[in-house]
Structure 1
Amino acid sequence: MDDFSPSDLKTILHSKRANMYYLEHCRVMQKDGRVLYLTEAKNENLYFNIPIANTTVLMLGTGTSITQAAMRMLSQAGVLVGFCGGGGTPLYMASEVEWLTPQSEYRPTEYLQGWMKFWFDDTERLRAAKSLQRARIKYLQKIWQNSRELQNEGFIYNDSLIQSALDTFQIRTDTATNSQELLLTEAQLTKNLYKYAANNTGQKHFSRQHKSIDKANAFLNHGNYLAYGLAASCLWVLGIPHGFAVMHGKTRRGALVFDIADLIKDAIVLPWSFICAKEDASEQEFRQQILQSFVDNHALDYLFDTVKAIALQTGSEQQTQEPTQ
């Protein structure tokens, strides 16, 4: 490590990083200037390298531990670390992943200042919430129209059922007068998308239950928390605290993470949760599918661009250059 400075480990911008890790039953440590995780095999211990300079989030599940030296290196590389329950989700859905963020004093201030300019104004905060909802649908349209895999599985953006649900969603979003109305509108759209996905994958009796053990529900939980990891990373890099939500409630400490994660959940996590459940995929296979979809569809880029545009109150592409990280 003597040959590297913290800035060297941040040469890959967060929005361009390709890796996100969930680990369980292992020990994370620093060895020879690298961050490794150690697993105990039957006759030997196995070490695996974590490429921290190209990693956004490290999620530590059941049976994990981490050394102080490893945390120091992860902090230098700007990697968020979260302790979570088994499978990448909390043991109880009321719990939150506790994100440990690197303590950097050199993150930009312009996005926090921009966010604060509108956040205390109810009308402007509602306008920002509506912008997030429109961006959410824009991303869903882009992904579903461009993905041949999703189309082959029956997820057709121009399907009359989808268009009818989106038309209703658009009208109710435009006329909403408070965030509670937006949340109800969002809930109705998500319910329709669940029904559409369940019918496409032969799970017609599906019911969304966070504590259910069926694969579709378990994959939805797992995929959503992967999206939360990306959202938390985006907000940390831009210097916007997680408590300044525009939809999910001003008194919920991590609510802005949920707001931002919603931008990509319906487009990617929802359809692949049902598809992988239909194919009886393993948890690891599902996780790899979601993470690869995030990379292929530039999900983190989209989070950064959307949040920055709202913070700066402009849709101009001239304002979407990533800050020095």
Structure 2
Amino acid sequence: MDDFSPSDLKAILHSKRANLFYLEYCRVMQKDGRVLYLTDAEKENLYYNIPIANTTVLLLGNGTSITQAAIRMLAQAGVLVGFCGGGGTPLYMGSEVEWLTPQGEYRPTEYLQGWLSFWFDDSQRLKAAQQFQQARIDFLRQVWQKDRDLKVEGFDFNDSQIQKALDTFYTRTAAATKSADLLLTEAQLTKTLYKYAAQTTGQSGFTRQHQSVDKANDFLNHGNYLAYGLAACCLWVLGIPHGFAVMHGKTRRGALVFDVADLIKDALVLPWAFVCAKENATEQEFRQQVLQAFTDHKALDFMFDTVKAIALQGKATEETEEQAL
């Protein structure tokens, strides 16, 4: 196959791409200049096209294989590829999704440089973490006040239980002196949101268990990993390595992915996990619902906007000071 440039694909901005694919029991290959996946039917092989120029993430689950030519085309199109277990979750306990990031394209430098301009300063890194937490709640407010389907299910941002928890959250977040304080405050708020969602959907006695014991926990795990895929894509496009976290610790693998994914998890993954569990939805139905919610509320756009704003705020301050001089 002849070489081609990403511009030949009529490239679409990553924040505007529509597709996130999860495939299992198939073979991904390049054929006639396209990336296809092949499934076995009873009497014939069936080929399906993957629109790579409009795809952000390709998750390969159980029973999949991929050719070198297909990986090359995916890399040139800027598609993030991950190998995972069934349903988009890790194959082994304690292991993160192993991401293969395209290496053949140049990425911007200003966001990494802006990020590093504050990251080594403990107080500035804490400030960025507090901004993440504020953005997270702003997105929760925006989604829960706007989404008619969630309102029908009983999710009300102005509920007294939610507002009381947020008052405590704001006070403790502002008073935090280290990231561990923020993580504790975050955990307390999320616990309240779990309790509220369980009560709203009539699922009494819910306990969050990462080793799933029921559908709500299954869906929370599944939805969180979809959010991690979006976060990893956002950081790769902006050229910021996953190790420069502001919340989840300096030595934890992929920690910044968790920070960015947290921006949308409470607003979108959490309520739909409980709603779909109440309706006894299948895993595929839940995945389709969450991905549609990501699209409807422009979750990836919100991630990009938040990370870019935090990365470049130091540069904006420097420019203001230069202008003053």
Q: TM-score range by the shorter chain?
A: over 0.9
Q: Report what 1:30 is aligned to.
A: 30
Residue ranges of structure 2 left out of the alignment (5+ in a row):
317-325
Tell me if 1:14 matches 2:17.
no
Q: Report what 1:204 is aligned to.
A: 204
Deviation of 1:168 after TM superposition, in Å, equals 0.8
Q: CA RMSD in A?
A: 1.6
Deviation of 1:110 after TM superposition, in Å, equals 0.3
**CA 1:309/1:93 → structure 2, altered by over 3 Å: closer, same or farther?**
farther
Deviation of 1:94 after TM superposition, in Å, equals 1.2
Deviation of 1:212 after TM superposition, in Å, equals 1.7
Give me the identity figure in percent. 78
Aligned residues of 1:10 and 1:77 also touching (Cα < 8 A): no
- The one-letter amino acid paired with 1:28 is V
Q: Report what 2:123 is aligned to.
A: 123
Q: Report what 2:177 is aligned to.
A: 177
Q: Report what 2:281 is aligned to.
A: 281
SS of 2:310's equivalent?
A: helix
Deviation of 1:3 after TM superposition, in Å, equals 9.3
Aligned residues of 2:118 and 2:314 also touching (Cα < 8 A): no
Aligned residues of 1:10 and 1:78 also touching (Cα < 8 A): no
Determine the C-alpha separation between the residues in 2 that align with 1:220 and 1:186.
16
Q: Report what 2:214 is aligned to.
A: 214
Write the deviation string for residues 126-177 of structure 1: whole angstroms up to 9, x where unpaired: 0000000000000000000000100110110011111111111111100000
Q: Report what 2:138 is aligned to.
A: 138
Determine the C-alpha separation between the residues in 2 that align with 1:47 and 1:217.
34
TM score, norm. by length of structure 2: 0.95
Tell me if 1:307 matches 2:307.
yes
Q: Report what 2:319 is aligned to.
A: none
Q: Report what 2:96 is aligned to.
A: 96
Aligned residues of 2:22 and 2:88 also touching (Cα < 8 A): yes
- The one-letter amino acid paired with 2:256 is L
Aligned residues of 1:93 and 1:210 also touching (Cα < 8 A): no
- The one-letter amino acid paired with 1:40 is D
Determine the C-alpha separation between the residues in 2 that align with 1:315 and 1:281.
47
Q: Report what 1:225 is aligned to.
A: 225
Deviation of 1:300 after TM superposition, in Å, equals 0.5
Determine the C-alpha separation between the residues in 2 that align with 1:203 and 1:143.
22
Tell me if 1:253 matches 2:253.
yes
Residue ranges of structure 1 left out of the alignment (5+ in a row):
317-325
Q: Report what 1:81 is aligned to.
A: 81
Aligned residues of 2:114 and 2:314 also touching (Cα < 8 A): no
TM score, norm. by length of structure 1: 0.95
- The one-letter amino acid paired with 2:231 is A
Deviation of 1:32 after TM superposition, in Å, equals 1.0
Q: Which runs of 4+ in 1 moved over 4 A?
A: 1-4
Tell me if 1:57 matches 2:82.
no
